[in-house]
Amino acid sequence: PNGLSSMMIDEEYYMSIVVPAYICFCFGALVVKREGKMPDLMVRENPDFIIFLLVAVVIGKILQRLPGFGVVGVLLDHLLICAVVYSLFTPYRIFALILALYQMGSVIVGSLAIGMFHDLLLQGFWFGSFFLYRIKASRLTVMIFLAVAISTVSVCQFVKRTYRAQATADVVYNVETFYALAEEKISTPHVSSYDEDFWIRFNQGWHIAHVIFYMDRTGDYKYGETILDTFSSVLLPRFLAPNKRNAGGRENMETMTFYRLKETTSMNISYVGEGYGNFGKTGCWIFMICIGMALAGLEKLVYFLHEKYGFFIFFMPAILLFCIRAENDLLTAFSWAFRMFLISSLIIY
């Protein structure tokens, strides 16, 4: 098959790389998996801590409008999901409902404005997870929630290409357009080329396939270059390392695939793609074990700090926001997590 979203390599070869990589990732996560029950999250002391979170969010929105402070502003702005999660476990039920409606509404409007749904899916996942835990949902309720979530993801994936071509700055028009496209797709039973493209793009498999295709033909493996760049980019400010890599994946796509991105396009190669681009098949599997251990270790650290100091679990949606994203890489995930962890610690202490 031809085109950007084509798999480029045959299914058997692709699965022989990706399935073991996923198993390795799960193995690594299980090695350092946290033992024990979920701690009690009900807020019996300091329910007004939410005020600090909301003040930080307001400061973030202001900083985003100031030159040179955009990154800090974005980080602080993402604390809104933490405030929503925290409010679920306070006595202020009406306030929690209003805050949740505002937060999810703003994410939906923002996603429709740019035709990208990453934030909606990720923040919806975190809110849904904590909400189901808060109401002590039964297994049936959880299964229904998962079915609705998968259906929502599927609809977004089916219509987003057509929707992006029609989206405007008009919020009402965007909502009406998205609804019309979704209704048309749901009511149309036949399979189209868009449906075939959907299954390829659903798990971002084509990103990985492009990396495998490029590396197998060029042999231009990076041998840990992007991993070393991650440490320098996370630990050193840009004035000390002016040539350090930028998070977001553009450099990965342009150095590990034959594809060249447009200036307005943002894509990444995923953990599997980064592992294969650096070390090939076997090295990718070892890399995925390390990624699983790192992410599970980060989660374990959050639980440990919560048990010792409190509050940290409520920051998990912000700290791990990019860590669980399918279209991702080491630099994007851990640079975000490191910065958000510092901000969370400063607010808590």
Cβ atoms 92, 51 nearer than 8 A? no
Tokens encoding 3:
């085109």
> Tens-digit pLDDT profile for the chain (349 aa)?
444 456 788 889 999 999 999 999 999 999 998 776 777 777 766 777 888 899 999 999 999 998 888 889 999 999 999 999 999 998 888 999 999 999 989 888 888 887 778 888 888 889 999 999 999 999 999 999 999 888 888 888 778 777 877 877 787 888 888 888 888 777 765 555 555 555 655 656 788 898 999 999 999 999 998 888 888 777 766 656 666 666 667 788 888 888 776 665 667 888 999 999 999 999 999 999 999 999 999 999 999 998 888 889 999 999 998 888 777 888 888 888 999 999 999 988 8
Residues 21 and 285: beta-carbon distance below 8 Å: yes
Helix then strand then coil, % of the chain, to nearest 5: 70, 0, 30
Token pair of 330 as six digits: 């080491």
Name residues whose C-beta falls within 8 Å of residue 63's C-beta, 6 or more positions apart in sequence: 69, 70, 72, 73, 76
Longest alpha-carbon distance in the chain = 60
| Encoded tokens for 281 | 């098949």
Give yes or no for a contact between 217 and 242, defined as CB atoms under 8 angstroms apart. Answer: no
Question: What are the structure tokens assigned to 144, written together?
Answer: 């229904």
Which letter, b or e, does each residue of 225-240 get, where b requires 16 or more Cβ atoms within 10 Å of its Cβ? ebbebbeebbeeeeee
User: Rounded to the nearest 5°, which phi and psi values hold at 311?
Assistant: 75, -30
Question: Angle CA(12)–CA(324)–CA(144) in degrees, nearest 5?
Answer: 85
pTM listed for this prediction: 0.84
